[in-house]
């Protein structure tokens, strides 16, 4: 049986619902890694109550949003750049800085590569292995770093779910500085991790650093992917350079307003962390019990599973799950992975139970 090409990303609920004749509301989306606790209480009212401001242009400088992010990340207003999702910032960084040679630590989020291709650059890949717990060899990367101008590293990494120890980040940062390589560190999922895994590079960042850019998506933690919002921390001159040729009013009014509201709501982050901590352990334990499944220990809000030993492919499992109205992420289009890998977001207990029940039925039914 031939399979359709895997979608470039999880979360295309519209396509999935249409294809299977479901209503969007009845689909359980395990393919996008979004906070299952929904957007912060009060956010809807905040947006609705400010609706009349739609008649004004938004603040072109994102003053309040930048101030809020700067306070949270303990830096200055000038060191913050906002984007329409972290993905907008990835493209801005690549298209504005135009690195000639780029290295990407794989398997990882595919947009780093796609952004490079828009400027005609075919990036090189350093592919980590599950057998090494997806850990980076500093010796290996250190021996090639001087031939690159930009390095992408995702921490915690999507889709593998591992974090890199702070010693690795520190040393990598030192080596990037020495070799004049811009290190783009994507911390979009870092807020979901336990304190001992929360290895942020923010503590390393110094105002005059022009080789470190730290990305933070706001769409995942605050469950607002439909709104599009992300920020990055970087040197103020770099921020100016990145912002220089963007269209004015780049971040719409409601996204700015939502950003301020969400970032000032630290309770959501704390509640989410303890919720995810319990649920990810529950799902991980459940996945481990499924015959032939090898889940990788997760640090954020999603789990990568190697299904090879079950005798099923990721595609066949995902196709069967669709009958249960469940969307899963087949990972065969991640560089370094293949059709043996599936990724599941961690959701609420009722949904997690539905996933585990469906998976057990699919695997035990023997249909391949």
Ligand X SMILES: Cc1ncc(COP(=O)(O)O)c(C=O)c1O
In the complex, which residues of this chain contact ligand X (CB under 6 A)?
85-87, 109, 154, 158, 186, 188, 217, 219, 225, 230
Q: How far is the CB of 230 from ligand X (least distance, A)?
A: 4
Q: How far is the CB of 354 from ligand X (least distance, A)?
A: 23
Nearer to ligand X, 219 or 299 (CB): 219
Q: How far is the CB of 225 from ligand X (least distance, A)?
A: 5
Nearer to ligand X, 158 or 352 (CB): 158
Nearer to ligand X, 99 or 230 (CB): 230
Nearer to ligand X, 345 or 358 (CB): 345
Distance from C-alpha of 116 to C-alpha of 245, rounded to nearest angstrom:
18
Distance from C-alpha of 212 to C-alpha of 203, rounded to nearest angstrom:
12
Q: How far is the CB of 208 from ligand X (least distance, A)?
A: 26
Which residue spans within 87-245 are E strands per DSSP?
Answer: 102-106, 124-127, 150-154, 182-186, 212-217, 230-233
Q: How far is the CB of 82 from ligand X (least distance, A)?
A: 11
Q: How far is the CB of 218 from ligand X (least distance, A)?
A: 7
Evaluate whether 321 touches 31 at the Cβ level (below 8 Å): no
Q: How far is the CB of 276 from ligand X (least distance, A)?
A: 16
Indicate the residue whose CB is closest to ligand X.
Answer: 85
For residue 230, give both structure tokens.
């992300």
Nearer to ligand X, 312 or 329 (CB): 329
Nearer to ligand X, 184 or 318 (CB): 184
Sign of CA dihedral 91, 97, 100, 101: negative
Distance from C-alpha of 342 to C-alpha of 340, rounded to nearest angstrom:
7
Say which residues have a Cβ less than 8 Å from residue 184's Cβ, sequence separation at least 6.
Answer: 90, 93, 112, 150, 151, 152, 153, 213, 215
Distance from C-alpha of 27 to C-alpha of 345, rounded to nearest angstrom:
14
Distance from C-alpha of 217 to C-alpha of 34, rounded to nearest angstrom:
11
Sign of CA dihedral 223, 133, 275, 203: negative
Nearer to ligand X, 40 or 230 (CB): 230
> Hey, how many other C-beta atoms are within 10 angstroms of the C-beta on 216?
27
């Amino acid at each position: 049986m031939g399979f359709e090409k895997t979608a470039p990303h999880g979360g295309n609920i519209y396509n999935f619902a249409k294809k299977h004749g479901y209503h969007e509301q009845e689909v359980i989306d395990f393919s996008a890694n979004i906070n299952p606790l929904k957007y912060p209480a009060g956010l809807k009212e905040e947006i609705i109550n400010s609706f009349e401001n739609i008649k004004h242009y938004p603040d072109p400088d994102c003053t309040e949003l930048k101030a809020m992010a700067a306070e949270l990340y303990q830096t200055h207003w000038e060191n913050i750049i906002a984007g329409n999702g972290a993905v907008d910032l990835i493209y801005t960084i690549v298209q504005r800085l135009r690195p000639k040679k780029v290295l990407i630590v794989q398997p990882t989020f595919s947009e780093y590569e796609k952004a490079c291709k828009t400027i005609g650059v075919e990036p090189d890949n350093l592919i980590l292995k599950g057998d090494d717990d997806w850990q980076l060899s500093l010796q290996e990367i250190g021996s090639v770093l001087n031939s690159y101008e930009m390095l992408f590293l995702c921490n915690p990494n999507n889709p593998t779910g591992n974090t890199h120890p702070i010693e690795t980040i520190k040393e990598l940062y030192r080596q990037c500085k020495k070799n004049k390589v811009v290190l783009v560190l994507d911390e979009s999922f870092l807020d979901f991790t336990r304190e001992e895994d929360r290895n942020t590079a923010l503590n390393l960042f110094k105002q005059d650093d022009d080789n470190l850019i730290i990305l933070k998506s706001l769409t995942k933690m605050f469950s607002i992917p439909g709104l599009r919002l992300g920020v990055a921390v970087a040197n103020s001159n770099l921020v100016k350079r990145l912002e220089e040729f963007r269209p004015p009013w780049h971040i719409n009014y409601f996204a700015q307003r939502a950003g301020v509201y969400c970032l000032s709501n630290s309770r959501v982050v704390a509640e989410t962390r303890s919720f995810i901590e319990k649920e990810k352990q529950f799902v991980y334990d459940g996945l481990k019990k499924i015959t032939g499944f090898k889940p990788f220990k997760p640090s954020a809000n999603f789990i990568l599973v190697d299904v090879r030993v079950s005798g099923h492919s990721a595609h066949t499992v995902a196709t069967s799950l669709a009958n249960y109205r469940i969307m899963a992420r087949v990972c065969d289009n991640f560089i370094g992975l293949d059709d043996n890998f599936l990724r599941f977001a961690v959701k609420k207990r009722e949904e997690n139970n539905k996933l585990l029940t469906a998976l057990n039925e699919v695997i035990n039914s023997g249909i391949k």
